[in-house]
Structure 1
């Protein structure tokens, strides 16, 4: 199969995941770039940031049209991650490639574990109660937790080239008391800001990107994000997360075995 076809298929899958789940697609972008398209880990994380920025901005626009983005709270949450994202992006260029691969595999496994947690009646009741409380008195914001979580997500984005949406969504629900739809939409704002901050520090790094691959990958991911938004309205969230999580666990195991052999 040609490199162009592989880039288009991988990009479409990344876009679908990001548009449907509000995160997680970038966790597939890096291993796809490394193992399918021959990028080094350093080049893959930089290319992933470019792809994630374009895709999350597109998905953000789609979610904003339905009123599922809380701009003020999301901007404040994202602002806490700007400096950590920039600093981590600088540090990533100096780390051994094996370290980046192992760290990425660990994060991918963590993302899969979170997604495999069963969506029980308790979780549904909690979400309903949160939505009711939000409508009645507004979300209770814990500034320290919000700043700390935002900073951690920013550092993760800068270091590993992932948007951190798989962590941003539950963080927005638990820390800022967002309902699910608002958390998914607002997480895309956080991802976009963090990715741009990390890219700014990597612009001068000596990493050569193959634009004949990155361009089609990003284009397919951007189009896939629109389809992912529509898919989210037709397929249950828990089912989407389970399928994605199983694939992600396989990717994490493969990357870890490859790094340690």
Structure 2
């Protein structure tokens, strides 16, 4: 039964990460805690394994489909590293009920923002406007032949990337619901590339956060984590293909309902320990 739960949950996580560029990892911690019996500290660490591997597989699939701007994703991810390390260290100093309470609040925020993000970032019908790969000749900061800085955009990238890193390190989530809008606004990527490129960012931040947690003495149940990870990674490939070929609005609506339901359940379980 435990294996079946891990496989089903992993499929949902992978589909969302592959198709929407984020959101699925928000389910990993509740699944590990309530369905697979791990403690919150164990779950947030195990979630990073699921997120890192699944995002990597999804990023490779999206790159093969031509939907990833690797250089921009890597640059954003490197900026987020500081936040990921700080978040991972802060997580070790927080009581487990506080972690679950913060996670429930985050899920409510994600459930609210996902439909908004999908509405704002809907794809333009190819018949109305051809999709063109954006050029890489509009850097935010240049040093040659002279120094030039688009400082407002640079500040947006710094603030958003740091926030993503903090969330990833602290709660074990990928932060794709923040990464995709940041790539759309700060780096001017079209939606067709933002979802795939966000997987590069999530891979970097979750890997760094996991390394920062190494040696903390908190080890998840690796059997459950591996089963969840394998199912999520395989589903991420399918999700990347869905993103390339289909309208993902229905998937977003269904996933939003699931996130809000799990958020309510997590809040009910966490609140008694906080009061």
| Structure (1/2) with the larger helix percentage | 1
Determine the structure 1 residue equivalent to 2:99. 100
Q: Distance in 2 between matches of 1:217 and 1:120?
A: 30
Q: Are the aligned partners of 1:80 and 1:148 in contact in 2 as well (CA < 8 Å)? A: no
Determine the structure 2 residue equivalent to 1:80. 79
Cα 1:215–1:253 shift into 2, 3 Å: same
Determine the structure 2 residue equivalent to 1:219. 230
Q: Are the aligned partners of 2:73 and 2:198 in contact in 1 as well (CA < 8 Å)? A: yes
TM value normalised by structure 2: 0.86
Matched, 1:149 2:160: yes
Determine the structure 1 residue equivalent to 2:3. 4
Residue 86 of structure 1 deviates from its aligned partner by 0.9
Residue 94 of structure 1 deviates from its aligned partner by 1.4
Cα 1:167–1:119 shift into 2, 3 Å: closer
Aligned length: 257
Q: Distance in 1 between matches of 2:174 and 2:214?
A: 18
Residue 233 of structure 1 deviates from its aligned partner by 4.0
Q: Are the aligned partners of 1:83 and 1:197 in contact in 2 as well (CA < 8 Å)? A: no
The SS at the match of 1:23 is coil
Residue 230 of structure 1 deviates from its aligned partner by 2.2
Residue 138 of structure 1 deviates from its aligned partner by 4.9
Cα 1:10–1:96 shift into 2, 3 Å: same
Determine the structure 2 residue equivalent to 1:57. 56
Residue 169 of structure 1 deviates from its aligned partner by 0.6
Cα 1:62–1:136 shift into 2, 3 Å: closer
Gaps of 5+ in 1: none
**Counterparts of 1:186-201 in structure 2 under 5 Å?**
186-201=197-212
**Counterparts of 1:1-261 in structure 2 under 5 Å?**
2-117=1-116, 138=138, 142-261=153-272
Residue 106 of structure 1 deviates from its aligned partner by 1.2
Residue 231 of structure 1 deviates from its aligned partner by 2.6
TM value normalised by structure 1: 0.91
Residue 232 of structure 1 deviates from its aligned partner by 2.7
RMSD over equivalenced CA pairs, Å: 2.4
Residue 79 of structure 1 deviates from its aligned partner by 1.1
Q: Which has the larger Rg?
A: 2
Residue 24 of structure 1 deviates from its aligned partner by 0.7
Gaps of 5+ in 2: 141-149
Q: Are the aligned partners of 2:17 and 2:25 in contact in 1 as well (CA < 8 Å)? A: yes
